Structure 1
């Protein structure tokens, strides 16, 4: 079994409150979840209104499939005009390695 994770550190554009941040982050999370059927959540910087870290998790029997899904999620997130992708940290682990 292969486990893949991806963390996006993102900067939000013209956002001045946590309520405004939620109105940007929630649709991104919902679209990732709907399009790719993966686990996704805001995992850090929840108290800052212009920064966020979104975490994505994928499990598959094939490493190539995990990589393909994580690549697609990263492209989708980077293409969003309302956010700037500052960094993406990826990890791919096989259960034999644990």
Structure 2
């Protein structure tokens, strides 16, 4: 059993916390439904132009978990061109 996590730091096109919340909730819900991973906003909740999102998955193989989280990152970049990915890091635990 392998546990992988992905942390993504995003720059958002929002000028209020309400605008940010709409973007973040949309991304998290669509990733949860599309990729069957755990997802949450893990930091920077009070910063309106940035978000730190975390995703986690448990898989039977090392390669499968890493590949799935790489697909999540690619999906965010493709589906949300208005959002800039500043940093992304995949860890295995």
| TM-score bin (small chain) | over 0.9
Q: Secondary structure at the match of 1:48?
A: coil
Cα offset, 1:62, TM superposition:
0.7
Question: Is the counterpart of residue 51 in structure 1 residue 59 in structure 2?
Answer: no
- Output aligned runs, 1:15-94, within 5 Å: 15-79=14-78, 80-93=80-93
Cα distance in 2 between the residues matched to 1:53 and 1:67: 19
Cα distance in 1 between the residues matched to 2:31 and 2:21: 15
In terms of Rg, which structure is larger?
1
In the other structure, the counterpart of 2:12 is 12
Q: Retained in 2: the 8 A contact 1:24–1:82?
A: no
Q: After TM superposition, what 4+ stretches of structure 1 lie above 4 angstroms from structure 2?
A: none
The two structures have a TM-score, normalised by structure 1, of 0.90
Unaligned runs of 5+ in 1: 94-98
In the other structure, the counterpart of 1:96 is none
Cα offset, 1:82, TM superposition:
2.1
The two structures have a TM-score, normalised by structure 2, of 0.95
**CA RMSD of superposed structures (Å):** 0.8
Cα offset, 1:81, TM superposition:
1.4
